[in-house]
Structure 1
Amino acid sequence: MHNDGKVVPIKKAHATPSPLARLPVVLLQVRDKAVQQLQQGLQDLFDNADDTLFEMADKSRNTLDHHIFFEAMRDLRLKRKNFERVFLEQLFEAFASLGQAGRGELQLVPVVSYDAPPGSSRDDLEKAVALEAMLGRVRHRDGLALGQLTARLSALLGNRLDERENPLGPALLCEFFLRAGRSLGVEIRVKLIMLKLFEKYVLSDADQLYGEANQLLVATGVLPDLEAVPSRRLEARATRKHPREEPLPATDQPVDENGQEAFAALQELLTAVRGSVAPTLEASAEPLPISTRDLLRLLSHLQQYVPEPEAEDDFDLRNQLEQLLTRVSVKSGKSRVVEDADEDVINLIALLFEFILNDRAVPDAFKALIGRLQIPMLKVALLDKSFLSRAGHPARRLLNEIAVAAMGSSPHDDYQRDPLYLRIEQVVQRLLNEFIEDPAIFPELLAEFSAFTADERRRSELLEQHTREAEAGRVRTEAARQRVADVLNRRLLGKVLPRPVVQFLQQAWSQVLLLASLKHGEQSVQWQAALRTMDELIWSVSLQPDTEAGRHLLEQLPGLLKALRDGLSSAAFDPFSTREFFLRLQALHVQAPEGIEELIEVHEPFVLSAASPDPVIDLPSNDPDLLKAQELKVGSWVVFQADATSTLRCKLTAIMAPANTYIFTSRTGLKVLEKSAGQLALAFKRGTLHSLDDGPLFERALAAVVNKLRQLNRGK
């Protein structure tokens, strides 16, 4: 375990049982209760870290800061689970160490000191100042409750503890946080932001942490006479976490005069499926139509029993309605049937949702959520037929907005922490709980959800722009690498030169050329100077000493050596790593070429590339799948089937010339895939790649249902 600052001795047990076995049961309860709160605090921290870093990137005034904050966001997302795991492991270890107090040999346990030692870097000083200020604020605000908790732990263990040894004290909590964050490759500004968030979302709730721990200890008789510390901030914290939401004013819904006419046209097609909703009774029972108002009441009753998304049983609306009608009919002694117009609406909505729940564009995990909207949408259609004909109807737009937002979500195990999934779940639950017959709730929910998705879209667009810029930079770098390799090959291939010089040019001077090309361009003075120095080096080791040029070589060497050193310095080469080359070069310059032992003929082309190129996939230019790949437009959504259980949904964000590389990003705007047109064509052929239709879901479903009904009517 890493030790920061001072250490103090506490005694370690000789016995072999686990330290946890020696802890009093109440102490384990204190630990487990604290773990619940700290886990929630860390989740809130990471959820808000993304927003905070995004805002910092958005406000940054230069490309470097923009890149730093976006890379930090990516690093946090990738390492979040490991971060939380390490933090909790440190907490568990600290509690286990308490179980060894007062027994046997000494064990060194770190006690954090945030005083920066002399000679510390500026970053360390900044971090030390920030930490000391954080600890001071916690002690000032919650010092009394913390002191009581430390005293009770000391009494329980029979060993006097220092506040800095208290596993729930701010000093050790900060230490756990810093240790967990060591794997993050972020600079000091990001670390300071993370510390501020740790204070805001974890340490700010320390009074609750200490209050609950003290209550558990008092309940078991540990120093019950200490005066209880009131929790001064519970109400303020509740207000912060659950702010009161003011409902949006209901908007007037314009009446679509063509609603009834459009519905009448649909009714002609729906006669083919009429008769599917009826009570199960003897044919002699007298039929009695049920009013639309009573039907709405039955649906509101069913609405309360819509199964949760995790339920395995399918919810068949028409079957459920039949059962209800049968029960009502048995009680009344008459066959209560649904009127034709209402049954047509029921069948139409059932067919629409049948299409939706089989649509590839809707991720499976979201289908269960959207499927729960079937009764609310049916009730809207019964109340307002313009729902079926007016594209701008708020309920219809809400369904389309939900489907568009969900389309880019790839399968993962932890939907309960996906903000989009949770927001859609909230919308669905509010409709099931609150929508009876007043449709004003739909424009309200639409406005709230549209604001949420607009913010998500803006965030992803910024990340997509960052991805495009990074890919453009990568393409420029790869092109520069190729040009540098071409320059070297023109000068080296076929020549016989000393091995150290060839290695130096290929391994070191190639980087000088690459940097000059990327920073200054190939028309610059720096690029021409680097070429000239390379040519002079090759010339210098190829001279015969008995020639006129060879006799004057020593006069020209200082300038050549200085140019070589200046070039290496511009590319940030360590002078010690190149010292051996210069010593060998000096020896080469005083030997005749035929006396040099390590002469080699360069016959292998030099390649300066960061990655091996993808194999070329040779397909005819008129191959249908290749044409299909080439027809993909930026903004198109696709789904890749990696294997039988793994799929990836992503959006084509850029097509990078000159190789026409297709760059795909996730819903959040991060790059997830890179393919050539040939690779896409092969995936289409194998059936592992499918384009997703991002058109409005309701409109696509309605068109499919109308087409299906027409086929049914033709078959009669």
Structure 2
Amino acid sequence: MHTDAKVVPLTKDAAEPSPISPVGRLPVALIQVRDKMALRLKQALQELFDNADDTLFEMADRSTSNVEQNAFFEAMRDMRLKRKSIERAFLHKVSESFSVLGQYDIGRAPQLDALSFDGLALVQNDELEEAVAQDAMVARVMSRDAVAIGHLTARLNVLVSKKIEDKTNPLGPRLLCEAFLDACRSLGVEIKVKLIVLKLFEKYVLSELEQLYAEANQLLVAAGVLPELKSAPVRRQQEHASPTRQAAPAEPPVGAVGSVEGSVQEVFGVLQELLSQARGTALPRRELPADAVPISNPDLLRLLSHLQQRLPQQVEGSADLRISLDQVLTRATARSGRTRVIGQVDDDVINVVSMLFEFILDDRTLPDAFKALIGRMQIPMLKVALLDKTFFSRGSHPARRLLNEIASAALGCGDRDDAQRDSLYQRIEQVVQRLLNDFDDDPVIFSDLLAEFIAYTGDERRRSELLEQRTRDAEEGRARAELARKQVEGALNQRLLGRTLPEVVVRLLREAWSKVMLLACLKHGVESDEWHAALQTMDELIWSVEPHEAPEDRSRMLGLVPGLLKSLREGLASAAFDPFSTSEFFSQLESLHVQTFQRFKRSEPVSSVGDSVVRPLLDPGSAAPMVAVVEEIVLLAPREAPAPDPEPVVVVDDEALGFVDNLRVGSWVELQEDDEHKLRCKLAAIIRPSGKFIFVNRTGMKVLEKTRTSLAVEFRRKTIHLLDDALLFDRALESVIGNLRRMKGA
């Protein structure tokens, strides 16, 4: 139904569409996996609750105070009472995670929380501790089971059209932890007890994931889904590892051999096969002399270290790297008299890394100012790949994570920022320089740099999230105030428009009583007694200054005025209206009421009391000035200029509107402001009452405000683009594999 722009709906439409379309069913193989895994998770959760009493009792027995002991005993009782509901809620969440794989979003952004006028709701220490514990649990599972999770994610992507990542895998540790935490919201326990419950979840549920992933992968292999992916044999655990033992180092030794390495080299093996098939067609075939001697891997690493130290500024592209390597090998050949070449496996690694960086340096998502910095990481990344082929397979590899973290942090930097003076740019430059100066053949440096960089970006993110939350709260509050003003305007215009009333009454209602009504609407809503009382007072005031002739009107007037004046005084005082202006209004209002009573007297027969005659109290010529309300009343917010002219009606196609409707809070976009400047900003909020899209920069400060139509127009003009915020290395690897497959078919 079309509604006029000035009409603001008070309630959500009952027919509002669901954000999830019911269309789409899960494949049979995926249903089998869901049901089997749900059974396994249920058994593990039951084991958790079976052991929770013993654990909490031991903690209570070791307590040093009665308060602490009672807390553990209360937690035991609470968990017993709510055990079944937690189990049901957890399994329901897991089932929902599978269900959405067969569904698609229809373009509605998440709703913002209601604005609190009592102050900003900052992240509390308890929530922070809970989040830290959850992240640590997830990291330990990803370190231990990254390959199995990756294979399961790859197989799920074959079965459903929705793009799935490890973090959105319904059996991934993050979604399982979130489902368990959500199911435990009803537990009335303090954070110390909740952390113990989380440890139990890790001990009895997450520790079983290795076996669970193996079974899920085997079920899909039996269904013919990517049978070529080979997983490592599962380590059978005779007993559950303690939480202390589970906190072992998160990363296995780089360059590890044996079954672990063999299980995570499938990606590189696929790349090698695609490269070999593309040689001689899309890629040139190497013609080697008969006396060619492959250079050893350690010698190649030394050559790369030489280039890394001597040519950090020049070796930024794959062509530069190849030329520099060929020059070094030519000199080595001249010295030894025998042709020195790079071995086939090492040459494949160089080719793949070169292709990855070609994609990275051409990627429009990466700001130009940061491409040169990241390009200088090519040689260190190449050395890591030569040392450890799991670099291509393991998403948790420190070198890959470092590259992804740098790219994610740089996403919000625009071309107007002074890169050389930007603190983020300087920090990334320090990271790159340390790699170039200190990385020889010990990849541990990547773990150290990753930890330091994550700590830095974590602080930056917390600051930006705080400012972003303030921006959202301010915009939501402004929208609520605007909606309330529309309600007040509507009530005023309904009663005043087209009528002729005393000028003082019109001013009183417009300038003073409108504030009382606005406050009632904001605090209590339009269904409240306070709002209806404000409307009633306005109606009584208008009636009291209109001409009346009937005798019963005089009686009503006598009974109405005292209460009316009291309501007006109390209302204006509650809205903190200027006392001087209030006194002036009441003085003029008193004169109006006196004139009204005078008219009642004149309409009655002249009567005498003794010898005196009741005479008019005021001169008839002193009647209050009247005003005709012929234009709609428009209220302005404090320090607000008159509203701009409405946007011209522009016809936009469904594709443009679809782009806007598919935007999600948190999406990054790039707006072409003019021929020279682009603005990068993140969608922070969609204000439903006003239909405004609020964008912030990477610090959380508001930089842009658009309507749905204006965004669609920008998209149609191709002046706005959605930035892909998926992991940079993963997108690059996906692109390389896709290109090689196309070369194979060429």
TM-score (structure 2 length as normaliser): 0.57
**Alpha-carbon deviation of 1:635?**
2.4
Q: 1:292 touches 1:342 (CA, 8 Å); kept in 2? A: yes
Question: Which residue of structure 1 lines up, in the alignment, with residue 498 of structure 2?
Answer: 494
CA 609–319 in structure 1, closer or farther in 2 if over 3 Å, else same = farther
**Alpha-carbon deviation of 1:278?**
9.3
> Could you tell me how far apart the structure 1 residues matched to 2:285 and 2:397 are?
27
> Could you tell me how far apart the structure 2 residues matched to 1:521 and 1:484 are?
11
State which of 600, 605, 614 in structure 1 corresponds to 2:627: 600
> Could you tell me how far apart the structure 2 residues matched to 1:262 and 1:307 are?
29
Question: What is the letter of the counterpart of residue 604 of structure 1?
Answer: E
> Could you tell me how far apart the structure 1 residues matched to 2:400 and 2:703 are?
32
User: Is 1:393–2:424 an aligned residue pair?
Assistant: no
Please show how residues 562-581 of structure 1 align to structure 2 within 5 Å.
562-581=566-585
Q: 2:316 touches 2:372 (CA, 8 Å); kept in 1? A: no
Question: Which residue of structure 1 lines up, in the alignment, with residue 670 of structure 2?
Answer: 639
Question: Which residue of structure 1 lines up, in the alignment, with residue 679 of structure 2?
Answer: 648
Q: Which of structures 1 and 2 has the larger relative contact order (alpha carbons within 8 angstroms, sep 6+)?
A: 2
CA 571–261 in structure 1, closer or farther in 2 if over 3 Å, else same = closer
Question: Which residue of structure 2 lines up, in the alignment, with residue 20 of structure 1?
Answer: none
Question: Which residue of structure 2 lines up, in the alignment, with residue 179 of structure 1?
Answer: none
Q: What secondary structure sits across from 1:337 in the alignment?
A: strand
> More displaced, 439-448 or 596-605?
596-605
The unaligned stretches of length 5 or more in structure 1 are: 1-61, 70-247
TM-score (structure 1 length as normaliser): 0.59
State which of 359, 369, 379 in structure 2 corresponds to 1:355: 359
State which of 676, 682, 689 in structure 1 corresponds to 2:707: 676
**Alpha-carbon deviation of 1:347?**
1.9
State which of 511, 517, 527 in structure 2 corresponds to 1:513: 517
> Could you tell me how far apart the structure 2 residues matched to 1:587 and 1:273 are?
100
**Alpha-carbon deviation of 1:520?**
3.3
> Could you tell me how far apart the structure 1 residues matched to 2:700 and 2:556 are?
61
Please show how residues 277-426 of structure 1 align to structure 2 within 5 Å.
287-307=292-312, 316-426=320-430
Q: What secondary structure sits across from 1:522 in the alignment?
A: coil
**Alpha-carbon deviation of 1:705?**
1.6
Question: What is the letter of the counterpart of residue 545 of structure 2?
Answer: V
> Could you tell me how far apart the structure 1 residues matched to 2:578 and 2:319 are?
69
Q: 1:277 touches 1:343 (CA, 8 Å); kept in 2? A: no
Please show how residues 105-504 of structure 1 align to structure 2 within 5 Å.
252-253=253-254, 255-271=260-276, 272=278, 287-307=292-312, 316-504=320-508
Q: 2:501 touches 2:628 (CA, 8 Å); kept in 1? A: yes
Q: What secondary structure sits across from 1:687 in the alignment?
A: coil
Q: What secondary structure sits across from 1:640 in the alignment?
A: strand
State which of 528, 531, 536 in structure 2 corresponds to 1:532: 536
**Alpha-carbon deviation of 1:522?**
3.4
**Alpha-carbon deviation of 1:308?**
5.3
> Could you tell me how far apart the structure 1 residues matched to 2:306 and 2:274 are?
29
> Could you tell me how far apart the structure 2 residues matched to 1:366 and 1:277 are?
34
**Alpha-carbon deviation of 1:575?**
1.8
Question: Which residue of structure 2 lines up, in the alignment, with residue 629 of structure 1?
Answer: 660
CA 532–261 in structure 1, closer or farther in 2 if over 3 Å, else same = closer
> Could you tell me how far apart the structure 2 residues matched to 1:421 and 1:544 are?
77
CA 315–270 in structure 1, closer or farther in 2 if over 3 Å, else same = closer
Question: What is the letter of the counterpart of residue 389 of structure 2?
Answer: K
Q: 1:408 touches 1:667 (CA, 8 Å); kept in 2? A: yes
Q: What secondary structure sits across from 1:638 in the alignment?
A: strand
1:113-133 deviation digits (Å, cap 9, x = unpaired): xxxxxxxxxxxxxxxxxxxxx
Question: Which residue of structure 1 lines up, in the alignment, with residue 719 of structure 2?
Answer: 688
> More displaced, 565-574 or 593-602?
593-602
**Alpha-carbon deviation of 1:261?**
4.6
Question: What is the letter of the counterpart of residue 670 of structure 2?
Answer: V
How many pairs are equivalent? 472
CA 402–572 in structure 1, closer or farther in 2 if over 3 Å, else same = same
Give identity over the alignment, percent: 55
Q: What secondary structure sits across from 2:310 in the alignment?
A: coil
1:150-206 deviation digits (Å, cap 9, x = unpaired): xxxxxxxxxxxxxxxxxxxxxxxxxxxxxxxxxxxxxxxxxxxxxxxxxxxxxxxxx
Question: Which residue of structure 2 lines up, in the alignment, with residue 702 of structure 1?
Answer: 733
> Could you tell me how far apart the structure 2 residues matched to 1:313 and 1:385 are?
21
Q: What secondary structure sits across from 1:360 in the alignment?
A: coil
CA 531–263 in structure 1, closer or farther in 2 if over 3 Å, else same = closer
Q: 2:503 touches 2:625 (CA, 8 Å); kept in 1? A: yes
Q: What secondary structure sits across from 2:684 in the alignment?
A: strand
Q: What secondary structure sits across from 2:461 in the alignment?
A: helix
Question: What is the letter of the counterpart of residue 625 of structure 2?
Answer: E
> Could you tell me how far apart the structure 2 residues matched to 1:422 and 1:273 are?
41
Question: Which residue of structure 2 lines up, in the alignment, with residue 101 of structure 1?
Answer: none
Q: What secondary structure sits across from 1:667 in the alignment?
A: coil
**Alpha-carbon deviation of 1:463?**
3.7
Q: 1:480 touches 1:514 (CA, 8 Å); kept in 2? A: yes
**Alpha-carbon deviation of 1:366?**
1.7
CA 472–350 in structure 1, closer or farther in 2 if over 3 Å, else same = same
Q: 1:278 touches 1:322 (CA, 8 Å); kept in 2? A: no
**Alpha-carbon deviation of 1:469?**
3.1
Q: What secondary structure sits across from 1:256 in the alignment?
A: helix
Q: 1:250 touches 1:440 (CA, 8 Å); kept in 2? A: no
Q: What secondary structure sits across from 2:685 in the alignment?
A: strand
Question: What is the letter of the counterpart of residue 690 of structure 1?
Answer: H
Question: What is the letter of the counterpart of residue 664 of structure 1?
Answer: F
Question: What is the letter of the counterpart of residue 432 of structure 1?
Answer: L
1:396-425 deviation digits (Å, cap 9, x = unpaired): 122112212221223344335544333322
Q: What secondary structure sits across from 1:438 in the alignment?
A: coil
> Could you tell me how far apart the structure 1 residues matched to 2:693 and 2:507 are?
35
> Could you tell me how far apart the structure 2 residues matched to 1:667 and 1:266 are?
36
CA 575–553 in structure 1, closer or farther in 2 if over 3 Å, else same = same
1:130-151 deviation digits (Å, cap 9, x = unpaired): xxxxxxxxxxxxxxxxxxxxxx
Q: 2:652 touches 2:712 (CA, 8 Å); kept in 1? A: no
Q: What secondary structure sits across from 1:316 in the alignment?
A: helix
Question: Which residue of structure 1 lines up, in the alignment, with residue 86 of structure 2?
Answer: none
